[in-house]
Structure 1
Amino acid sequence: MTKPLSFSAFVMNTASHIIHGLWRDKEGHQLDFHDVELWVSLAKRLEEGGFDALFFADVIGLYGNHRGGWEYHAENGLQIPSNDPMVLMSALAVNTKHLGLAFTAAPVQEHPFNFARRVSTLDHISKGRIAWNMVTGFQANAFRNFGFDSIVSHDERYEWAGEYVDVAYKLWEGSWDEGALLQDRVSGIHADIEKIHKINHEGTRYKVEGPHLVAPSPQRTPVLFQAGSSTAGRNFAARNAEAIFIVTPDPESARKLIEDTRQLAIQYGRNGDDVRFYQGLSFVIGETEEEAREKEIELEKKIDLDMMIAHLAGGIGIDLGGLSLDTPLAEIETDGTRSLIDWVKQSTPGRTPTVEDLARLQGKTTRIVGTPETIADQLERWSAAGVDGINVINATIPGSYVEFIDHVMPVLRRRGLARNGQGEAVTLRKKLFGSDLLNERHPAAQYRGAFALEASVKK
C-alpha cells in the first residue's frame, strides 16, 4: 500500500542558500529575506499546499576561504548576511496553525539551559510545532566567533553534542512532572513544588542546577532532526534523531543508508521505524518533458558555478577558487576532499571528472526534471526505497514551492503519495508519529520521573 510522503521546505534566512546565483533572478524574492512578510506569506502558502514543515538551515560562521580570503562570500552573498531563524519562528508560529517550524542550532552557540528555555517558549507559542535540527558545526570561523582558537575535532564535537542534548532532555522531560502546574485561583497554589525538580547536572562541559524555568510545552522536547553522515554523526542520529535529512544520489543508495541506520537505531534500544528519513531534492517542472528540459537548461545558465565551488569546497576548508573549471579533480585530491571526489567520480562514469563537475554535483544529483506525472513516478521510487519524506530545495522563493504545490501535489494526492488536507491542528510530532511526546524508547524518556525518584530516595 502506498504511504503518503511528508514534505518540508528547505530554506535559509539569507539571499543564497543551496542553488547559488539565483538571487539575481527577477522571478525570485530571496533578496527580500530581511522582510518578515516574505517568510509569513511563504509559510501560509506551504501550509495551504500540504507541506508538513518549513525547515531553516543556518550557519554561525563563514565557509572556508575562496580565492585566498573570506571576502568572496560577502561580496557574492554566499550565506552572508544571514539572520537567526529562531527569532523568526515566533512570527511564523502566530501566522500558521498546522505547519511545523524547524530551525538549526549547534551547541557552541548557546548554553543548553538558555537554549532549552527558548525552545520551550517557542513550542508554547506554536502550540507544539517546533523542531530542532541538531548540528555540531563544521566551520572554523564559527568556533573562533565563540572564543575558540580553532575548531573542535570532529568526534569531540559529537561527544559535546551528546552532553548538550542530555542536559536539554533533563530540563524538558524530567524537571517538571505531569500535573505540576496547578494555577488554582481558589487555593492560591500555582504549582505543586513536589513535582518540580532541580536536575543538578554535572558533566564534562556543563554544570546545570535547574529547575527548568518553563512549564512543559505541548511536545516537551521538540521534534529532533539531524543530518550527519559520518560514523560519529550516524551513531548520534541513531540514538537521538526522530528524522534524518539525507542527500543521496539515487533511491538505491538511500535504501542502503536507511537500512543501515535503522539497524543502528535498534542497537541503541529503539525500533527501526522510530526514525524517519527525508531526502533532499529540487525540481524542474514542465507541462511536457521537452519544456522541462528547456527550463533546466535556462536554470543551468543562471547558476553561479564559482559560488557552488566556494560552497562545496569551502565547507571542507579547501580553496579551489584559483582553478579553472576544466581542471581534472585528480590534480587536487587531498584527504579533505576524498569523499567528495569519490562522489563526483560516481556521477561521471567513463571520464575524468573536473572542477566543473564538482560545481554542478549538488544541483544535478538532487534534481528531478519532468512533468508532474514523471516527477511523481520518480518520487514513487524514492518512497519504495524507504524514504519517508522529501526536503524540497528551492531555486527561487516562493516560485519553486508555488510551482510544486500547484502542479505536482495534486498528482501526488491522486496516487496516495501526499495527504489530502491538514485535518485538525495537532503538534508536529503527533502529525508525524501519532503522539505528542517522545516514545519510551528514546533516551530522553529515561528522565521522566527520574528526579522525583531521586528526591524521594533522599528523604
Structure 2
Amino acid sequence: MSKEILFNAFAMNAVGHQSPGLWRHPRDRSGEYHRLSYWTELAKTLEAGLFDGLFLADVLGVYDVYGGSPDAALRHGTQVPGGDPSLIVSAMAAVTRDLGFGVTSNLTYEPAFPFARRMSTLDHLTDGRVGWNVVTGYLDSAARAAGLTKQRAHDDRYAVADEYMDVVYSLWEGSWDDDAAVRDVARGVFTDPERVRPAVYHGRHFSLDAVHLVEPSPQRTPVIYQAGTSPAGRAFAARHAECVFVSGPSYAALKPRVADIRRLAVEAGRDPSAIKVFALATVVTGPTDAAAEAKLADFRRYVSPEGALTLMSGWTGVDLSTYGLDDEVRHVETDAGRTALENITRADPSRVWTVRQVAEHVGIGGIGPVFVGSPATVADQMEAWIAGTDVDGFNLAAAVAPETFEDLVEHVVPELQRRGRYKRAYTPGTLREKLGGAGPKLPSSHPAASFRSPRSLAQAAE
C-alpha cells in the first residue's frame, strides 16, 4: 500500500515569502501578515484540509547581497518587512485542535535558556502541537545585527548547533521529572524540589547551570525540524531531526540528499523511516489543465525578477546583480546556503542555468517545482515526486495567499483522498504522534533521551 502524503503549508510572518512580486496581485492578501485575523483564518482553512502543519519560515537580517544593499529587498517586499513567527502561534492554536506549528528560530542569535522556555510555553499552550525548525542562518546582515562583523563559517555553525542542541535537551528533558509538579493542595506543595535539578552543561561554546523555568510540556522537546541539506546539514539532520525540509528543482537534486539523510540516520542508530522529509513545492490548480495554466500565466505577470534574484542572492551569498541576464551561473564556495547554489550549479549536470532562468524559476514558489493542472494532474505530479525522490510530503508555498492554500483544500486534497494517498482524519495526540511517533516524547534512540534523569528513565520503563 502506498504511504500517505504529508502536507505542511509553508508561510512566513512577512510579505513576499517565496513568490516575490505576487503581493501586488489583486487577490493576494499576504500584505495582511501583520493582522492576527489573517493567521487565524488561515489556520482554520488548513485544519479543514487536514494539513499536518503550518511551517513558519523566518530570517534574521535583510537580503542585502544583491547590489550590496537592502534596497531591492525593501522595494519588492522580499521577505521584509516581517515579524516574529512564534507570536502568532498561540492565536492559531486557539482556533484549531489538531493543526501543528513548525516555528523557525535561529540558534546562532537566540540564547538557549529563554528560547527553551518559549518553546516549552508554546508546547503547553498548543497542547503539544509545536515543532522547532532548527536553523543556523545564512545572512551576514543578521550577524551584523547581533554585533558581529560576519557570520561564522558554514560548517562551524553546525558544530555550534550540536552543542546548542545538548543545552536545550538538558533543559527540556533533564531538569524536571515528569511528576515534579505535584500540585499537592493539602501539603501546600506545588513542585517537589527533590524532582527538579539544574541543567548543567559546560562545552566549548556554551555553559549553563540553571533550572528550566517551565514544568514538562506534553512533548517535552518540540518536534525537531531541520532545513539545511549541505553535507554538514545532512549529518546534523541524521542525528537530531524528526522532519527535514528539502528544496530543489528536480529529482536529480533531491533524491541523493534524501537517500544520504536516511543512510546517515541508520549510522546514528535511528530508524530512517522515522525522519519525515518534506520537499518544497507550489501548486497552481483549477478545474481543468487549461484553467490552471491560464492562472499561472496570470500570476507570472506579477513576478518581480529583481525580487527573485534578491532572494537567490541572499540564499547563495552570490551577488547576481553583477551578472548579465544571459550569463551562466557558476559555482563558488560561500558561507551562505550552499545547497541553494548547488541546486542550480551541480545538482543536475544535464542542465545549465542562466541568471534569467533563475529569476523566472524562483519567481513562483522559490527553488522548488510548480505543480500545475487539474486536481488529477497535480495529484499525478505529487505521486511522481514521492516515487522519484523518496520524500514523505511537501512544504507547500503559496503563489497567491491564501488562495493557493484554499485551492489545495478544495481541489487537491479530495483527489488525493480518493486515491488513498491522504488521510481522512487526524491521528489523536501531539504533533509527534500525528506524524507517526510512538508517543508524545522522543524515543530512547534519539540523543535527547540521554539527558533524562535516572528517575525519569525508570518511570518510562515501568
Say whether the fold is shared (TM-score over 0.5).
yes
The letter of the residue matching 1:399 is E
Shift of 1:442: 0.5
Q: Is the 8 A contact 2:14 2:30 kept in 1?
A: yes
Residue 403 of structure 1, aligned match among 407, 410, 422: 407
CA distance in 2, matches of 1:299, 1:421: 33
The letter of the residue matching 1:427 is T
Shift of 1:451: 8.5
CA distance in 2, matches of 1:133, 1:77: 23
Q: Deviations over 1:208-235 (max 9, x none)?
A: 1121110000000000000111111111
Q: In the alignment, which residue of structure 1 is the partner of 2:381?
A: 378
Distance 1:105 1:345, change over 3 A: closer
Q: Is the 8 A contact 1:64 1:315 kept in 2?
A: no
- What RMSD, in angstroms, separates the aligned Cα atoms of the two structures? 2.2
Q: In the alignment, which residue of structure 2 is the partner of 1:456?
A: none
Query: SS at 1:368's partner residue?
Result: strand
Q: In the alignment, which residue of structure 2 is the partner of 1:293?
A: 293
Q: Deviations over 1:304-357 (max 9, x none)?
A: 1111011102322222225443x2216x66444997666436899888642111
Query: SS at 1:281's partner residue?
Result: strand
Shift of 1:403: 0.6
Q: In the alignment, which residue of structure 2 is the partner of 1:175?
A: 175
Q: In the alignment, which residue of structure 2 is the partner of 1:258?
A: 258
CA distance in 1, matches of 2:119, 2:280: 25
Please say if 1:446 is aligned against 2:450.
Answer: yes
CA distance in 2, matches of 1:170, 1:306: 45
Matches within 5 A, 1:34-433: 34-251=34-251, 253-321=253-321, 323-325=323-325, 327-329=326-328, 334-336=332-334, 343-344=343-344, 353-362=353-362, 363=364, 365-385=368-388, 386-422=390-426, 424=428, 426-433=429-436
Q: Deviations over 1:247-292 (max 9, x none)?
A: 1333465343222211101111212112110011101112222222
List gaps (5 residues or longer) in structure 2: 458-462
Identity of counterpart residues, as a percentage?
38
Q: Is the 8 A contact 2:62 2:70 kept in 1?
A: yes
CA distance in 1, matches of 2:341, 2:211: 49
Q: Is the 8 A contact 2:285 2:292 kept in 1?
A: yes
Matches within 5 A, 1:27-38: 27-38=27-38
Q: Is the 8 A contact 1:243 1:276 kept in 2?
A: yes
Query: SS at 2:435's partner residue?
Result: helix
CA distance in 2, matches of 1:404, 1:420: 15
Q: Is the 8 A contact 1:19 1:308 kept in 2?
A: yes
Calculate the TM-score normalised by the size of structure 2: 0.92
CA distance in 2, matches of 1:225, 1:155: 19
CA distance in 1, matches of 2:345, 2:232: 25
Distance 1:346 1:214, change over 3 A: closer
Calculate the TM-score normalised by the size of structure 1: 0.92
Distance 1:339 1:11, change over 3 A: closer
